[in-house]
Structure 1
Amino acid sequence: MDRQRLSSIAHTHHPIAAPISGVNVNRLLRRADRRPAARILDLGCGEAAWSLQALAHCPDGHADGVDLSPYALERAAATAEMRELSDRLTLHRRDARTYVPDGDYDLVLCVGATHAFGGFAETLELAGRHVNRDGVLMVGEGFWAVPPTKAALTGLDTTPDEFTDLPGLVEQAAKAGWAPTYAHVSEAAEWDDYEWSWTGSLTGWALDNPGHPDAADALAAAQTHRDGWLRGYRGVLGFVTLVLRRAS
């Protein structure tokens, strides 16, 4: 099954593509607001849930959303139209690594999409280039809440050095010249809601479309993901969203 299509179905009931509740998205954006007419850039925007909510906090602002998935961008455009924000959101089907904007931004978002740049450190460097001198860079990244177990590594199909612990992430940001002005560590309930939504959306779609050629693949993907989470990284992998400003 096409991975972008699979991801689009999986996020049907949780368009925020990270284990964060809507309440905490708003809390983070309130901490990041710079001005009513802010320029906002969302790299790896998915369905543009962050961009659209940021525009609600910046009544005269404009956002650019960048993603490779046509399915996610189609949903983003539909939601923007429904919320009467189409005139303030521009969507770009581009690779976030090679996107060349027209000028810099007051707020740059990359939450749950650092893989697009090759990791956290690379995101700080490459996404950070688009932030103006007094702007904010908001990055959401995974970390080891406890030392990774063999089951967690198997469930995530990764190695221990894929992530660091939370102090290590903050240290990386400091070494790159960024200072956290706020952060939110996702709670267990947020993780559970995200994972059950991800696997449940795929499962529900497959059961509703039994004759579809991708139904079996969707069910298998949901089961594999669910097992990897419940039997592996649940309670081991954490997620933090950092609100960063330049330290000098």
Structure 2
Amino acid sequence: MDRQRLSSIAHSHHPIAAPISGVNVNRLLRRADRRPAARILDLGCGQAAWAMQALAHYPDGHADAVDTSHHALEHAAAAAEARGLADRLTLHERDARRYVPDGDYDLVLCIGSTHIFDGVVGTLKAAGRHVNPDGILVLGECFWQAPPTPAALTALDVAPADHTDLAGLVDVVEEAGWTPVHAHVSDAAEWDNYEWSWVGSLTEWALDNPGHPDAADALAVAREHRDGWLRGYRDVLGFVTLVLRRI
């Protein structure tokens, strides 16, 4: 099954493609420096849920949202139309590493997409180029909430050094010239809601489309993901969303 289509289905009931609730997304965006006519950029936007919610906080703002997934951007376009935001949201189907904007942004979002830029340091460098001198960068990233177990490493297909603990992550951010002015650490309920939604959405799609050639594959992926989470990285992997300004 096409991985981008699979991800789009898995996030159909949780378009905020990270373990964080809508309430806390809004709290984070309120802590960003609000300007009515802000320019917003969402890198690796998925279904552009963050960009659209940011527009609700910036009534005269405009957002650019960038992703390689045609399936996710189709969902984003439909959602923007339904919410009356289509004229303030521009979707770009391209590699975020090659996005060349027209000017700087007041708010740049990169939530759960640091892999695009080969990690946190690369993301801060690349995304930071788009942030104006007084702007805000909102970064969502995983960290080790507890020492990684062999089961967690296997489930995530990572090495221990691929993440640090929360304090180490903040150190990395500050060494790169940024500092948190606010943050939210996702709690167990947010993680559980996200993971059950991911697994459940994919499972429901497979059960509702038993004759589809990808149904068996989708069901197998959902089971594998669920087992990796429940038996591997649950309560081991953490997620933090940092509101950053330049030092």
TM-score normalized with structure 2 length: 0.99
- Give the equivalent residue in structure 1 for 2:212: 212
Counterpart Cα distance in 1 of 2:199 and 2:184: 24
Give the secondary structure class of the aligned counterpart of 2:115: helix
By how many angstroms is 1:220 displaced? 0.5
Contact 1:34–1:135 (CA under 8 A) maintained in structure 2: no
Contact 1:146 1:236 in 2 (8 A): yes
The equivalent residue for 1:112 is: 112
Matched-pair identity in %? 77
Report 1:16-165 matches (<5 A).
16-165=16-165
Mapped partners of 2:220, 2:33: distance in 1: 41
* SS of aligned partner of 2:228: helix
Q: What is the number of equivalent residue pairs in this alignment? A: 247
Q: Residue 5 of structure 2 corresponds to which residue in structure 1?
A: 5
| Conserved? CA contact 1:42–1:66, under 8 Å | yes
Structure 1 unaligned segments of length 5 or more: list them. none
| Match runs of 1:189-208 below 5 Å | 189-208=189-208
Question: What is the DSSP-based 3-state SS (H/G/I as helix, E as strand, rest coil) of the residue aligned with 1:87?
Answer: coil
The whole-number CA distance in structure 2 between the counterparts of 1:10 and 1:179 is 33
Q: CA deviation at 1:239?
A: 0.1
What's the CA shift string for 1:195-225, capped at 9, x where partnerless?
Answer: 0000000000000000000000000000000
Deviating beyond 2 angstroms after TM superposition, the runs of 4 or more aligned structure 1 residues are none
Give CA deviations for 1:149-204 in whole Å, capped at 9, x if unaligned.
Answer: 01110111111011000001100110010010000000000000000000000000
CA distance in 2, matches of 1:162, 1:207: 35
Q: How far is 1:227 from its partner?
A: 0.3
Structure 2 regions of 5+ residues with no counterpart?
none
- Provide the C-alpha distance between the structure 1 equivalents of 2:19 and 2:182, rounded to a whole number of angstroms: 17
Which letter maps to 1:190?
E
